[in-house]
Amino acid sequence: MADVVIIGAGGHGREVLHALREEGRADFAGFLDDREPDPDLLGRINARWLGPVSSLTGLPRDVQYLIGIGSGQLRRRIDNWATGEQRRPYTLVHPMTSIGADVELAPGVVVFAFATVTTNIRIGRHTHVGRGCAVGHDSTLGDYVSMYPLAAVSGNVTLEDGVTVGTTASVRQGLRIGAETMIGAGAAVVRDFPAGVVVTGVPASARP
């Protein structure tokens, strides 16, 4: 079994740890975080803090990493650094998910419990698919995408790098959402949007 560290000991990182333990294919070595977590909080989940993120460089070369941070921009920054240090990311799929045929998961992807990823789908590097999310057929999710719990994208949707889809938001079939766009919680997206905008409402529109 691989040894895995999780970068980020906040709530999202602790949820990643839960999924890692449920999967049962790797041994958890500890958290890396630049701010020391509450030791009582970690103690209650039988976890430990190993030190700041830079401590990754001193760990054995076969130790892999997961990024337990909700922000795609921060995941990109950490991944770029870790890749420069020639460290290997771990790819995590909670056992209580539905993954169909011809689904390609890039390194560092995390798919949480009760997500559904149907068929002929590509999911990019360090993208996180949250609890209960749905990803429809022939969709492409770029690198560092964040789908928060219960978000849904229909078939043949493209989410470019760094897109965030808020809790319970939905994206209609056949659409393309530009890089780094933020879709707010509960939004209903029924048309394409360019890069770098904030999208909210039903039907969704770009915030002025």
pLDDT (tens digit, 9 = 90+) per residue, 131-154? 999 999 999 999 999 999 999 999
| Domains, the chain, ordered by start | 2-90 (3.40.50.20), 93-198 (2.160.10.10)
Q: Which 3 state secondary structure label does DSSP give 146?
A: strand
Q: What is the mean pLDDT of residues 166-176?
A: 98
Question: The tokens of 123 are what?
Answer: 């999911």
**pLDDT over threshold 80, residue 2:** no
Mean of the per-residue pLDDT values of the chain:
97
How far is 108 from 17, CA to CA, in rounded Å?
A: 14
pLDDT at residue 192, rounded to an integer: 97
Q: What is the pLDDT of residue 117?
A: 98
Residues in CB range of 59: below 8 A, 6 or more apart = 5, 29, 50
Q: What is the pLDDT of residue 1?
A: 67
The CB density around residue 197, as the number of other CB atoms within 10 Å, is 15
